[in-house]
Amino acid sequence: MSHRTIDLEVMRYRPEQDDEPWVQTYKVPCEEDWVVLDALIYVKDNLDGSLSYRWSCHMAVCGSCGMMINGEPALSCKTFIRDLPGDVIRVEPLTNFPIERDLVVVMDDFIEKLQRVKPYIIRDESKPISEGEHRQTPAQLKKFKQYTLCINCLCCYAACPQYALIPEFIGPAALTLAHRYNQDSRDQGWEEREDVVATNEGIWDCAFADACSIVCPKHVDPASAIQQMKISSTLSWYKNLIGLGGKKR
Amino acid sequence: MNGRPYVREVRTASWYFGRWRDLHHMLNEISSIFIGGYALILLWGVKSLAAGEQAYLAFLDGLTSPLSLTFHWVALGFTLLNSVSWFGVTPKAMPVQIGDEFLPGHYIAIGHYVAWFCVSLVVLVVSGVFSNG
């Protein structure tokens, strides 16, 4: 039985037909436990099969369904309709990204930046398997675990005013992943990442608006990662200045 | 028909008016103008002091003008806003890990407020605010 009928306003853009995005409204009968993604699935299955959007896990793990919901970047699978005010809900593709089609954005810029920060463990010399695993204490794990929770949903990029104004900015999620590996006791790649991260386009383009952390659906707190890297980078610069350079962390 | 991905324009001059957190961020950024202005006035005062008693008294007289008082009140407001914002985010920039856990953020923020108070007290004592003479 339907709990509530909403007007779901969806930004549409079909590149083969439209010059610019426009808004289409659907009447959607919602159940009490529906999230916004359920309403979109209802539209796709029952009202308009041409609607395009990304989704996969429906449980805030895959990071596919990030979109603007009533003007705020959020995961549509984690945003309950009952928590939204009024009977009109507006969904749009994530801001700050080109629109591929309807609610699908072009992610190429993020993927390219993610690769640049080398988001994987870098070792000076790899250890033979026969020597066993790299062990880590709970305290060492705790130091970076929060930053492993990023699901690349790009909500932080949609919220970031700096990324909106400076497209070259590497941005919150990619920088956070750089920090995640810099903080990992098994990693030795800080110096390799520093050339990309400790630059104007990297951490120094961040003005600490904190919007990335406010909207992050996984509470990763990208702003904290970037500010910590600013401190590390500054200390590293001073150490090099007085000849105490070397392993920087 | 466009035929390719659509790029939305960014409102470069007015983007921060739509949402309180963006406006709050910009107010923090704009505070630098007033704090920079205050620093220039301070330098002007030092220059006047070096120029002699008459110049310094003229400088002090200028500080009492309505324009100067308004500027200083606004600058004070922006300084407090920026200070509170700054201390509020110190736990993010400087987390303290003890063993397996992180120290709760409010301890770090409070520690900074205490340090701010102590440094301010030292400055006031050194500048003679509490001396009877």
DSSP A140-198: HHHHHHGGGG-----HHHHH-HHHHH-TT---HHHHHHHHHHHT-TT---HHHHHHHHS
Which ipTM was obtained for this model?
0.86
Q: Where are the domains of chain A?
A: 4-105, 108-241
Give contacts of A100 with chain B, Cβ < 8 Å.
5
**Do A4-105 and A108-241 have matching folds?**
no
Q: Say whether pLDDT at A126 is over 80.
A: yes
Among A201, A221, A173, CA closest to A66: A173
Q: Say whether pLDDT at A248 is over 80.
A: no
Tens digit of each residue's pLDDT (9 = 90 or more) over B50-96: 999 999 999 999 999 999 999 999 999 999 999 999 999 999 999 99
The C-alpha atoms of residue A13 and residue B5 are separated, in whole angstroms, by: 9
Give contacts of B29 with chain A, Cβ < 8 Å.
207
Residue that is written with structure tokens 């449980």 in the block = A59
Q: Say whether pLDDT at A247 is over 80.
A: no
- Asked if the Cβ–Cβ distance from A98 to B6 is below 8 Å, we say yes
Nearest CA in chain A to B9: A96
What CATH code would you report for A4-105? 3.10.20.30
Give the pLDDT mean for B28-36: 95
Tens digit of each residue's pLDDT (9 = 90 or more) over A202-237: 999 999 999 999 999 999 999 999 999 999 999 988
Looking at domain A108-241, does it have CATH number 3.10.20.90?
Answer: no
Which one of A139, A207, A224 has the shortest CB-CB distance to B93? A224
Measure A2 CA to nearest chain B CA, in Å: 33
Q: Are A50 and A10 in contact (CB under 8 A)?
A: no
pTM of the model: 0.91
Q: Say whether pLDDT at A172 is over 90.
A: yes
Mutate to test the interface with A, among B4, B8, B25 (most CBs of A within 10 A): B8
Tens digit of each residue's pLDDT (9 = 90 or more) over A81-98: 999 999 999 999 999 999
- Asked if the Cβ–Cβ distance from B22 to A99 is below 8 Å, we say no
In chain A, the percentage of residues whose pLDDT exceeds 90 is 90
Among A61, A63, A161, A169, CA closest to A109: A169
Q: Say whether pLDDT at A72 is over 60.
A: yes
Q: Are A211 and A184 in contact (CB under 8 A)?
A: no
- Asked if the Cβ–Cβ distance from B100 to A228 is below 8 Å, we say no
Q: Say whether pLDDT at A144 is over 50.
A: yes
